[in-house]
Structure 1
């Protein structure tokens, strides 16, 4: 029984039609098919971010075909068979059918092929080895990809251990796809293979690991997948031996923010958080946010003046993250909501005095200027940012003449 994509605007859009027509003109109507995520997500009604196309044409032939119809091409990964077509300012990634020649767990040497089954055989999961022609008719070379997609089964193509040994990132991809698309109990063979080969993730680049991890944590409910990772020993190899599943599970119920969920997995130790962020090669911004989230004071028992002090000193993001961590750890719900509302409504005041004010009061510019201003600021914050009486406060802080 053949299946067909229905009601997909991207499938019938002029930009898409132009690319498929260009390829068909060069290699015939069966030389190009949509593949992977766009087909899978179209079947299950999930959002579609990218449109990927597989083709039996070689990369050079793809470039020539696009040029012949006036479409621009970008050689984004031409050595691996990938060319990006630009149609009506929209990118379409076109990759020549491939088979693996050799793999080492991190990267593969590939050869081009014209066999759709060979191309499907090197893909990770059966629900990702689905193709659709220009009219939306599904090609399912494994014979089970369609059923897997509809049932929410994440099953490796062929033998799980063989697929994983080709690229150990597939361990993390298994958990990520289970988090996003899995339903019911996970595939037992996949779970067993990921656990058996867990040490393979240590061969991967930190950038690949962190990218997959954050995608996983952004899923609507990643808790079952993260539990599986912990049980298999994979989570410990990614984050180290110490992680807080209980806090993570509570945080997941409060926030969909992947980085905040990651912070909940980390111990409440700024130095350790910084170490893990560096090991994952997170951006400086991401690292700083994680460190700030596990630092300082922002419990759900703060008074409003205390909260404003933390907001002024550490900023809104750090304050909100700390309140969320305290809430997830058992903080009072209503108090947490009030503090978060305060953070959104409160505008950080500008320091109301400066060096000119001190000069006006007779203090000669010099090292004492900074000391007096620092003392003024500390008192101003402690008194909850009063908007009057500044000259009197400054005079009281001036050194004797």
Structure 2
């Protein structure tokens, strides 16, 4: 992965990794080491000389997290490869540190969906993600933090670009291409995206500690009065019960009625969602038969995620779909979102009311 950097510190064989790691630690460097092998590549990230996380990548597969550090460091010295060490801004490092790759959305680009449309959608939905676009002879990356571009890179057989030039190259690239959006979850909140220039890490000072409240004296405990044992009353002698006629076997219980709820079809842009950008992108690109509902709907239908339910369409037609939970902002409920491709197939428009039967 090509990550926009402040400057290149070293380029050479991967076998020198541990020797260079001592220099990184001594210099308290904030940056990364990119390791490229014949079968995959990886990036190790450092904050002030300490390794904080790592990313591995092969084709369109990508994984991020501290558990990737040891396997990548071991491969650096056990397998022949190349290494490049870069300085990064703290803002760029913040995009990776403490985060995991959550949802991954993949699609082929063409006349209906192009790179520009994807970029605009991720900007508008305030996504924190990595967008990777791969053509036959080129690869491009766009790094987004809360909908703002934190950096971009583009490499082909003849060119290498960063920033706005990289984004322009990705948009103008022709030929067959595939795209993948890796939504990042966790980590510290992103408040501002700084441009890739050298800067000192900002250390936030903790505010003054609040004074402790003086403990209030406990109220005096009343003595517990002894409990007198209750006098036992003589038990009444019951007469023997009369013999009744034989009881017939109970009738079989009637089958439980199907659970159904009527919901208005909406879109991710019309409701308050916790992960707005992720659902917006899935709604745009997902080709599965799936319906996103909130926790209240799941409880009403008495189903759980991945269960199959029936959409009750006009004319009493039905369509089987899997349900998935969408997290909503408190105060929002009764949400039903369908992928755009499924809405077109079933001729359902946002605002329509349809039933869901479990």
TM over 0.5: no
Q: Which has the larger strand fraction?
A: 2
Higher share of residues assigned helix: 1
| Rg (Cα) greater in structure | 2
State the TM-score, normalized to the length of structure 1: 0.26
Higher normalized contact order (CA 8 Å, seq sep 6+, divided by chain length):
2
TM-score normalised per structure 2: 0.29
